[in-house]
A and B are shown apart, each in its own frame.
Chain A
Amino acid sequence: MTIETFTGAKALLQKTELLFEYGSVDKTGIDTVKPEGLADNLGGLKRKAKPNLPALTEPEAMRHYIRLSQRNYAIDLGMFPLGSCTMKHNPRLNEAMARLPGFSDIHPLQPQSTVQGALELIDTLSDWLLKLTGMKAVAMSPKAGAHGELCGMLAIRAALDARGLQARKKVLVPKSAHGTNPATAAQAGFEVVEVAQTADGRVDVEDFKAKITEDTAACMITNPNTCGLFEHQIKEIADLIHAAGGYFYCDGANFNAIVGKVRVADLGVDAMHINLHKTFSTPHGGGGPGSGPTVLSDALAAFAPVPWVVNDGDGFKLLEHKEGEAAQAFGRMVAFHGQMGMYVRALSYMMSHGADGLKQVSEDAVLNANYILASLKDVMTPAFDGYCMHEALFDDKFLEGTGVTTLDFAKAMIDEGFHPMTMYFPLVVHGAMLIEPTETESKHTLDDFIKSMRGLAAAAKSNDKSRFDHAPHLAPSKRLDETQAARKPVLKMAD
Chain B
Amino acid sequence: MTVKFTQEHEWIKIEGDVASFGITAYAAEQLGDVVYVELPEVGKTIKTGDAVAVVESVKAASDVYAPVSGEVVEANEELSASPEKVSEDAEGEGWFAKIKLSDASELDGLMDVDAYKAFLESL
**Bind each other:** yes
Q: Which residues of A contact B (CB under 8 A)?
A: 179, 424, 427, 482-483, 486-487
Chain B residues with CB under 8 Å of A482's CB are: 33, 58
The reply to whether A486 and B60 contact each other, CB–CB distance below 8 Å, is no
* Known A483-B33, A486-B35, A487-B35; contact A424-B84, beta-carbon cutoff 8 A: no
* CB nearest neighbor in A for B62: A427
Is B36 in contact with chain A by the CB < 8 A criterion? Answer: yes
Find chain B residues with CB under 8 A from A424 CB: 59-60
A427 x B83 contact (CB < 8 A): no
Q: Smallest distance from the beta carbon of A314 to chain B beta carbons, Å?
A: 53
Which of A179, A427, A486 is the one whose CB lies under 8 Å from B58?
A486
Q: A residues within 8 A CB of B84? A: 487
Query: Residues of B contacting A179 with CB < 8 Å?
Result: 61
Docked complex Cα distance between A483 and B35 (Å): 6
Known: A424-B60, A482-B33, A483-B58. 14 other contacts (CB 8 A): A179-B61, A424-B59, A427-B60, A482-B58, A483-B33, A483-B35, A486-B35, A486-B36, A486-B56, A486-B58, A487-B35, A487-B36, A487-B83, A487-B84
What are 5 contact pairs spanning A and B, CB under 8 A? A427-B60, A486-B35, A486-B56, A486-B58, A487-B35
CB distance from A295 to the nearest CB of B (A): 30
User: With A and B bound together, what is the CA distance between A487 and B85 in angstroms?
Assistant: 12
Q: Which residue of B lies closest to A194 (CB)?
A: B63
Chain B nearest CB: distance from A383 CB in Å?
16
A136 to B9, CA, bound (A): 45
* Residue numbers in A under 8 Å from B56 (CB-CB): 486
**Cβ-Cβ contact count across A and B, 8 Å cutoff:** 17
Q: Report the minimal beta-carbon distance from A375 to chain B, rounded to whole angstroms.
A: 27
For B30-45 the 0/1 string (1 means CB < 8 A from A) is 0001011000000000
Shortest distance in angstroms between B14's beta carbon and chain A's nearest beta carbon? Answer: 27
Binding site for A on B (CB under 8 A): 33, 35-36, 56, 58-61, 83-84
Residues of B within 8 A of A487 (CB): 35-36, 83-84
Listed from nearest, the 5 A-B pairs whose CB atoms lie closest are A486-B35, A483-B33, A424-B59, A482-B58, A487-B35
Which residues of A lie under 8 Å from residue B58 when comparing CB positions?
482-483, 486
Nearest residue in B to A431 (C-beta to C-beta)?
B59
Query: Least Cβ distance of A473 to chain B in Å?
Result: 21
Residues of B within 8 A of A427 (CB): 60
B8 to chain A, nearest CB (A): 11
Instruction: Tell me the bound Cα distance from A487 to B81 in angstroms.
Output: 9
**Bound complex: CA of A486 vs CA of B33, how far in Å?**
10
A482 to B60, alpha carbons, bound, how many Å?
Answer: 13
Least CB distance from B104 to A in Å reads: 28
Q: State how many angstroms separate the Cβ of B93 from the closest Cβ of chain A.
A: 16
Closest to B59 in A: A424
Complex Cα spacing A486 to B87, Å: 14
C-alpha spacing A179/B61, complex, angstroms: 9
A403 CB → nearest B CB, Å? 15
Give, as a whole number of angstroms, the nearest-CB distance from A471 to chain B: 16
Cα of A482 to Cα of B36 in the assembled complex, Å: 13
Q: Which residue of B lies closest to A487 (CB)?
A: B35
Closest A residue, CB atoms, query B84: A487
In the assembly, what is the distance between CA of A487 and CA of B36, in Å? 7
Which has the most chain A C-beta neighbours within 10 Å: B59, B60, B61, B84? B59
Select the residue from A427, A482, A483 with max chain B CB neighbours within 10 A.
A483
Distance in angstroms from B52 CB to nearest chain A CB is 15
The chain A residue sitting closest to B35, CB to CB, is A486
A200 and B61 alpha carbons, distance in the complex (Å): 24
* Complex: A483 Cα to B83 Cα, angstroms: 11
Complex Cα distance, B59 from A482, in Å, reads 10
Distance A145 CA – B58 CA, assembled complex (angstroms): 24
Whole-angstrom distance between the alpha carbons of A482 and B35 in the complex?
A: 9
| CB nearest neighbor in B for A406 | B59
Contacts of A486 in B (CB 8 A): 35-36, 56, 58
- Distance A179 CA – B56 CA, assembled complex (angstroms): 13
Please, which residue of chain B has its CB at the minimum distance from the CB of A179? B61
User: How near does chain A come to B58, taking the closest CB pair, in angstroms?
Assistant: 5
In Å, the complex CA distance between A427 and B58 comes to: 13
CA distance A31 to B93 in the complex (A): 60
Determine the distance from Cα of A424 to Cα of B58 in the docked complex, in whole angstroms: 10
Cα distance, A487 to B83, chains bound together (Å)? 8
Report which residue of A179, A427, A487 has the largest number of chain B beta carbons within 10 angstroms of its beta carbon.
Answer: A487
How many whole Å from A321's CB to the nearest CB in chain B? 40
How far apart are B38's CB and chain A's nearest CB, in angstroms? Answer: 14
CA distance A211 to B84 in the complex (A): 36
Bound CA span A487–B57, Å: 10
Tell me which residues across on chain A come within 8 A of B35, comparing CB atoms.
Answer: 483, 486-487
Point out which of B35, B36, B60 has the most chain A C-beta atoms below 10 A from its C-beta.
B35
A82 to B51, CA, bound (A): 31
Bound state CA distance, A424 and B30, in angstroms?
A: 11
